[in-house]
Amino acid sequence: MATRSTIMDTNSFRAEHADGLDADARQLTQKRGRLLGDSYRLFYRKPVHLVRGQGQYLWDADGTQYLDVYNNVASIGHCHPAVIAAVHAQMQQLNTHTRYLHEGILNYTEDLLTTLPTEISKAMYMCTGSEANDLAIRVARAYSGGTGIIVSREAYHGTSELTSGASPALGSGQPLAATTRLVDAPDRYRVDAPDLGAWFAAEIQKQIDDMAAHGIRFAGFLADSIFSSDGVLPGPAGYLKAAVDVVHRNGGIFIADEVQPGFARTGDAFWGFARHGVVPDVVTTGKPMGNGIPVSGLLARPEVLAAFSDEIPYFNTFGGNPVSMAAAQAVLKVIREEELQAHSQRVGAQLLTELARLAERHDCVGDVRGAGLFIGFELVADRDSKTPDKARALDVVEQLRERRVLTSVAGPHGNVLKLRPPLAFQARDIDWLVGALDEALAATAR
């Protein structure tokens, strides 16, 4: 029997919850069940019917206001006026594909590349992070001549055939590719190693050796540098360098999946990988890039990309279209003008401090960790044994929802609250979040 997906099934509405819904919510869930494919999932035992968003806030159909502490799709804030204006203006002029000349894609690429190491100088565009990671795997295989991809044990990198085969977080119903290998995540809370970087590099080498023993040539290591699906694991800055060195020594490439840690999210740097002083061979991005407009990208060292692009033409009908590029350009401008990287670092540090104080009052909190506005809040049944408490984490998520705070869980055990608000989140919102969390922890005490 297939195991549930940690990212899809853990915090989700199921049929047995229907009796707890009001008439309108029950009607909508029933209509969804009748019209939409059964693969879809809703958040919460009592799904939220959202109709409006602004900045870090959302409103439901009854006009109730919520604090969004989960959303990096609208990364710079829901319905940001700069993005709305840019998209509206471009829609009035032209929207087409990349087989015609257009300044928008070129101007944006020049601007985006200034945020990256100089070694990375080529870009390609798609619509989703899944597409970006799919292409990245193809590039890794073309460059290395191998097929083997290493990911962390609870990674999520997309929904295409290639990326779902390298996304163990989707559960056992979605089989991994025979050429995929898993490494334990670099979890400083649970891994007893004096040097986390050396330990993780050794884990990478073990899987490369295992590939060789099975006749599989290593192609690359694909990771999001904060290991968000593994439970939000920022680790000490710099520890990933040893692992990347191992990847290169074995002829593979490092693909930095920046869909979650990129675009100023982690505060210390514009890109998550930059916290570690490494230069990836390929960088992929998606959701936060367009603030809700479907746009994604792959950025690469030219010699790495050439192994693929010199041999195979690539075309994505909507990838890099003028409207999406206008949205992406507006996002980049807002991040700079509103100084959101410094904001993420400053407000994230304040939030982390308050959450650590909260943890002192609740024995069920095992660990609080994060970088910028990306924080993991881990719940355990016993601090000494560090036994994960998934049931309580899910109850806390529901209690937060009742207190109008929206978030979800992550990690292989589903016991880590994933606190990742839009970058519009302000210091004044900390009291709402921490106060609601304090009450939720008290309400779920056993």
Instruction: Give me the CATH number covering residue 130.
Output: 3.40.640.10
Mean per-residue pLDDT for 308-321? Answer: 94
Q: Are residues 381 and 270 located together in one domain of the fold?
A: no
pTM of the full structure: 0.95
Is position 21 within any domain? no
Average model confidence (pLDDT) for the chain? 95
Q: Which tokens is 177 given?
A: 């590719």
Which pLDDT score, from 0 to 100, does residue 39 have? 83
The Cα–Cα gap between 340 and 272 comes to 14
The whole-number pLDDT of residue 17 equals 77
pLDDT at 21: 80
Chain-centre distance for alpha carbon 328: 18
Confidence bin at 185 (pLDDT 50/70/90): very high
User: Distance between CA atoms of 297 and 122, rounded to whole angstroms?
Assistant: 10
247 and 357, same domain (yes or no): no
pLDDT the model gives residue 186: 97
- The average pLDDT across 86-94 equals 98
Q: Are residues 231 and 265 in the same domain?
A: yes
d(CA 106, CA 110): 6
Closest by alpha carbon to 370, among 344, 347, 348, 393? 348
Backbone φ/ψ region at 386: left (φ over 0), alpha (ψ -120 to 50), beta = left
Q: Where does the pLDDT of residue 173 fall: very low under 50, low under 70, confident under 90, or very high at 90 and above?
A: confident
What's the farthest any 2 CA atoms get from each other in the chain?
63
Domain of residue 404, CATH code: 3.90.1150.10
Cβ-based neighbours of 367, under 8 Å, separated by 6 or more: 189, 376, 378
* Residue 8 reports pLDDT greater than 70: no
Reported as a pLDDT band with limits 50, 70 and 90, residue 48 is confident
pLDDT number for residue 2: 57
The stretch 311-321 carries a mean pLDDT of 94
Distance CA 282, CA 287 (A): 17
Is the same domain home to 261 and 117?
yes
Q: Is residue 2 part of a domain?
A: no
Quick check: is 274 in a domain? yes
Domain that holds residue 436: 48-78+340-444
Q: 401 in helix, strand or coil?
A: helix
CA torsion sign for 385, 391, 395, 400 is: positive
State whether 234 and 373 are in the same domain: no
Instruction: Pick the range with the lowest mean pLDDT from 26-40, 103-117, 142-156, 176-190.
Output: 26-40
With beta carbons less than 8 A apart as the criterion, state whether 10 and 156 touch: no
If one counts the domains in the chain, the total is 2
Give pLDDT tens digits for 327-356: 999 999 999 999 999 999 999 999 999 999
- Angle between helix axes 340-361 and 322-337 (nearest 10 degrees) is 70
Q: Decide if 287 contacts 119 (C-beta within 8 A).
A: no
For the record, the structure tokens of 1 come out as: 């029997």
pLDDT band at 3; cut points 50, 70, 90: low
Same domain? 202 vs 297? yes
> Is the CB of residue 366 less than 8 Å from the CB of residue 295?
no
Is the pLDDT confidence value at 409 over 80?
yes
Of 294, 311, 338, the one marking the end of a domain is 338
Examine the domain organization and report whether 348 and 324 are in the same domain.
no
The yes-or-no verdict on residue 1 having pLDDT over 60 is: no
pLDDT score recorded for residue 435: 98
For 277-302, what is the mean pLDDT?
Answer: 97
Residue range 55-73: mean pLDDT, rounded: 96
| Per-residue pLDDT reduced to its tens digit, 358-392 | 999 999 999 999 999 999 999 999 999 999 999 99
Pair (380, 357) in one structural domain:
yes
Determine the average pLDDT of the residues in 160-183.
93
Q: 240 with 310, same domain?
A: yes
46 — pLDDT class (breaks 50, 70, 90): confident
With cut-offs at 50, 70 and 90, classify the pLDDT of residue 272: very high
Tens-place pLDDT, residues 197-254: 999 999 999 999 999 999 999 999 999 999 999 999 999 999 999 999 999 999 999 9
Integer CA distances (angstroms), 431 to 243, 423, 428, 434, 440, in order:
39, 17, 6, 5, 14
